[in-house]
Structure 1
């Protein structure tokens, strides 16, 4: 409703300027009409060049072949106006583009130049914000050492290895990025129970009294909460041949939060039209960039994409393939018992 009021005020202002300047003449009404139609074409053409440039940049630098957000934001009404305006000009033997288009385009580019070095707050996407929150609010609590009792993620994994007499071939936190964004309470729920020929995940978080077969928890006072617990879960992958393979893994909980939001769109109407794939892409690319820049978390987190909608895909095998890529000697390593 506010946009309607602002639009009406702009119309009134435009009429006032026109009447006040006394530039409108009755015998020039056709000239005015064709000029307005032509400038509509100019404006929409310039907007189109900006969108096409954005898509080209994404294709070249972000390896995103189609910016679905831009495609979804295409205004059908503007397309109709654009085609209709061109048709009006052509049918009346009027030029679609005249020499003033170049001048208007140059003026537009000049006005855009001062904004190149600025990043308005509104340009921060939902996915970027989720990645920053996940990094600062979670990973920074479970990966680096705090300089005190908690020696960091690697030391925590080593303690688990020593306690269980096993070897974790890749000492990284595997973050599972599911296609649907759904995260089960236990990753072994992704196992294909009707396929005994496939590898299977099993959690190592069984507690016997105060003893835990998974990684040790870390407690920290955060945001007024005393002894807030942060933890990771170890898993082992049972294979048809060979000993089990151990790792530390979990799903990307921010994406699961987005999954819940999408399931309750009537409650979150501001996000009802968000493009989920773009949000996921922004989340993953931003998180990878943060991890690469961070001296405290670099090389300790691995993102693994898993299409949980594909009935033929098996998470355990997807992870095994990634472990093979990261550590080709993993079979030799896991044969060692401490």
Structure 2
């Protein structure tokens, strides 16, 4: 008798879990349907109000593609849902359809309202979008412009009269009688975004710049200069003086200025300034590393320029530490 009761209780418990799982599945179907309905409403609004933003010969297709693209509910995710819906249709399960309708009224309609009000869109989603590297974000755009408008023009060997960075560094060493162990352009990217007009410290001072390069860009002959700095206290015994080609990342300087100017700064930009800076660094590193022309010519130095007490970090020590690390790894002579 007791055994029969226990089996009955076990069966009832198992059946309740099945009902719960079934109810959760139907609720999920309702939410997916609500998301698709929201996207349909969005597409309709775009087609009616913002129709000028889409090509006239395929406007409807473009609007629908925009509304569904980059969806968290992609087409192949929908296949299991469609299979379940077809299964319910075949069973003609009135209770299931009744539950879906109730779920839609109780859950899905409020969900659609929250989506329309952008209540579900937080800074976390914005940060994830920036990190995704779509190419449309501010950081990636700055990195791309910096690369194509400056680095890829001025640094590589062209095979023409214009000298590349490596050749100009070698000429500089021969002319000035100095040692530049790492023949790259060091680009400083401080976390605060602020680069002072003069980059110097007690152990690092600016000296004569490299040979000026004149390039024709957009019908204008533009001069490009690379600064050289003397870094003292290098080597294991801290008795060597090395030189380095160094500059601050100019897009970061412009970004910093934009954040302090009312006409160019938005609340989202200010909130996401760290994400934008990190994405600039990641995107630029990916570009210069994967490009055969620049992979051995650029050294990005992303660093925290403020101490825990709020004081400025000695940029000379940051550069010196990176220099010594690179020299040690490459096995270059210490001189």
What is the TM-score of this pair, normalised by structure 2?
0.59
Larger CA Rg, structure 1 vs 2: 2
Provide the C-alpha distance between the structure 2 equivalents of 1:289 and 1:176, rounded to a whole number of angstroms: 16
Work out whether residues 189 and 303 of structure 2, in 8 Å CA contact, stay in contact via their aligned partners in 1: yes
State the match for 1:39 in structure 2.
108
Offset from partner CA, 1:173-205 (integer Å, 9 cap, x none): 1000011111222211xx2xxxxxxx5210013
Does residue 221 of the first structure (1) align with residue 205 of the second (2)?
A: no
In structure 2, the residue matched to 1:267 is 263
Higher helix share: 2
Q: Matched residues in 1 for 2:162 and 2:300: separation?
A: 24
Q: Name the structure 1 match of 2:189.
A: 177
- Residue correspondence of structure 1 range 55-204 to structure 2 within 5 A: 69-70=126-127, 124-188=136-200, 191=201, 199-204=202-207
Tell me the CA shift for residue 308 of structure 1: 2.1
1:330–1:39 CA distance, 2 compared to 1 (3 A): closer
Question: CA, structure 1 residues 301+236, in 2 after alignment: closer, same or farther (shift >3 Å)?
Answer: same
Q: Structure 2 stretches of 5 or more lacking a match?
A: 1-41, 50-99
Answer whether contact 1:245 1:334 (CA < 8 A) is retained: no
CA separation of 1:131 and 1:71: change in aligned 2, threshold 3 A: closer
C-alpha separation between the residues in 2 aligned to 1:185 and 1:312? 15
Aligned residues: 229
- Cα offset, 1:331, TM superposition: 10
Higher relative contact order (CA 8 A, sep 6+): 1
* RMSD (CA atoms): 3.8
